[in-house]
A and B are shown apart, each in its own frame.
Chain A
């Protein structure tokens, strides 16, 4: 091959796949969001912003936004606080902390479907582990997944359990990067442990906290598997998060126009968050250099 074309040929397969399966679909989604179509009919009439108005006027759209926001508002701070506490405890590279780190990290790489199935058992009313513990303590059984108020909390608990390991690993890396001299200096000045944590550790790992904050919010808006396996959005829409609504609109109700409009809205929101993340990561590299 001619040397001039070499780099193009090398990059071509990747670029071709990205074009066909990522960039063309974005344009297609935008186009479909302005059309009325149900997979079946040969025509796909243009209907302007009709799908968007229908979404903005539908209770299930606002419900899914509310549910997803509640999910994010509870689960994100919970994850970060737990992860930071655990990471400060496990940051040393000794055998005990490596063992525990391994255990906490394992769910992060494990199949979400398996985890959803296992926790369906844990939270099942009659035979589950959670109610088993309650009964042993002399308390009554709780219908975890049948109660609209509890179901979302259960999903938050499971998601936190699964994702915690990732946050812990990232926090450990950040904590290990804090220069030891700062701690030494603080020790000479007689700083108390809580003071050192508040005045030195927390500010220095702030970029990592922002980073984790943004990616966990992005993740919250993409939660699907746990919902699809465990609750299908129920009871009474209590766990009907955005992607579950997207899946139902597109692939259960075959309302392609509204499904695409929802995808476009989700896309805009997540791109905004991703740009925020890129800025934070950019700052961080600058800051470390």
Chain B
């Protein structure tokens, strides 16, 4: 029985490696020099990483991606949590309309907002700025909807007890609702961070200054610098690509279960 499990696990692992082989090979390739890659032989080197970071400014792109995704996640979670609390716990005029407008954003394709948002930021002088990258991504109707559903499952008796003790609504939110909702908030945080980390089309239109490139933009530009067949320094490009997926890869190993739960909770049920 135990041998059977080991064998099956081995086969599954093998199938997984074959499935992921292009990505795994690209990581392997990133540790070679261009000459060892094209002429055969293998030289293990970190050279490509140093070049990508020093010559091609990827340290800056990494910083930009972390800053933008981090701030979008924090602000997105804060606004979604506050609104979810209002929708889940208060009776107020216009609530159903406002909640409806929030949920309806799930259906609205982001491409219709592309040109107008570009114009809005241009007229506010915010193109080519961190604010321009961050502001349009902050509102997250899905997170608000998801957290509201979760909060409705928390017994109201807990809020009422806190109110009896003289707590204000903000204290109830911060001390009672948020700690209990932590798993849901965590899942949503991951979801928002990943989506923003991988965002490509908005930085592509909103940013021209190279100093503000995110990793996605930097990688795409590095690749397109010399797209001619055979001219590309593949090991160098793969080092940049590995830097771009590495944080997600590390995070994935740690939190895969939360990610899966967030996704299935969103779609099934």
Contacts and interface: CB of A to CB of B under 8 A. Distances in A.
B3 interface: no
Interface string A2-17: 0110111011011101
Contacts of B25: 129
A58 interface: no
Contact of A110 (B5, B23, B135): B23
B180 interface: no
Contact of A22 (B38, B78, B113, B197): B113
Contacts of A263: 111-112, 114-115
B120 A7 contact: no
Given A18-B141, A21-B113, A32-B115, A288 B269 contact: yes
A119 B173 CA distance: 47
Contacts of B252: 102, 106, 109
Contact of A112 (B8, B17, B20, B198): B198
B220 A102 contact: no
Contact of B83 (A14, A26, A251, A271): A14
Contacts of B248: 109-111
Interface size class of B (residues with CB under 8 A): 35 or more
Contact of A118 (B23, B82, B135, B256): B23
A117 interface: yes
B175 interface: no
B260 interface: yes
A287 B227 CA distance: 52
A246 B107 contact: no
A104 B16 contact: yes
Contacts of B17: 103
Interface residues of A, number: 89
A133 B18 CA distance: 13
Contacts of B220: 113, 116-117, 228-229
A176 to B, nearest CB: 10
Given A14-B144, A15-B83, A247-B201, A121 B194 contact: no
Interface string B251-263: 0100010011001
A285 B112 contact: no
Contacts of A25: 112-113, 115-117, 120
B197 to A, nearest CB: 7
A259 B98 CA distance: 30
A113 B219 contact: yes
A288 B269 CA distance: 8
Contacts of B138: 17, 21
Contacts of B118: 251
A117 B5 CA distance: 37
A125 interface: yes
B85 A170 contact: no
Nearest to B106: A274
Contacts, number: 254
Given A18-B139, A96-B8, A174-B268, A275 B107 contact: yes
B201 A15 contact: no
A169 B117 contact: no
Nearest to B216: A113
B80 interface: yes
A259 B115 contact: yes
Interface in B111-132: 111-120
Contacts of A23: 101
A94 B2 CA distance: 12
A103 B19 contact: yes
Interface in B190-227: 194, 197-198, 200-201, 204-205, 215-216, 219-220, 223-224
Contacts of A267: 108-109, 111-112
A73 interface: no
Given A100-B16, A105-B256, A228 B267 contact: no
B108 A22 contact: yes
A228 B224 CA distance: 10
B16 A13 contact: no
18 contacts: A13-B79, A20-B120, A26-B116, A95-B12, A96-B11, A96-B12, A111-B244, A112-B200, A114-B241, A122-B22, A170-B263, A173-B264, A222-B110, A228-B201, A229-B220, A247-B114, A267-B109, A271-B108
Task: Report, nearest first, the 3 A-B pairs whose CB atoms are least far apart.
Answer: A103-B16, A25-B116, A274-B107
Interface of B: 5, 8-9, 11-13, 15-17, 19-23, 25-26, 29, 38, 78-80, 82-83, 85-87, 90, 92, 95, 98, 101-102, 105-120, 135-136, 138-139, 141, 144, 169, 173, 194, 197-198, 200-201, 204-205, 215-216, 219-220, 223-224, 229-230, 232, 234, 237-238, 240-241, 244-245, 248-249, 252, 256, 259-260, 263-264, 267-269
Given A14-B82, A29-B116, A96-B8, 8 more contacts: A7-B92, A17-B79, A18-B105, A25-B112, A110-B245, A120-B223, A222-B109, A263-B115
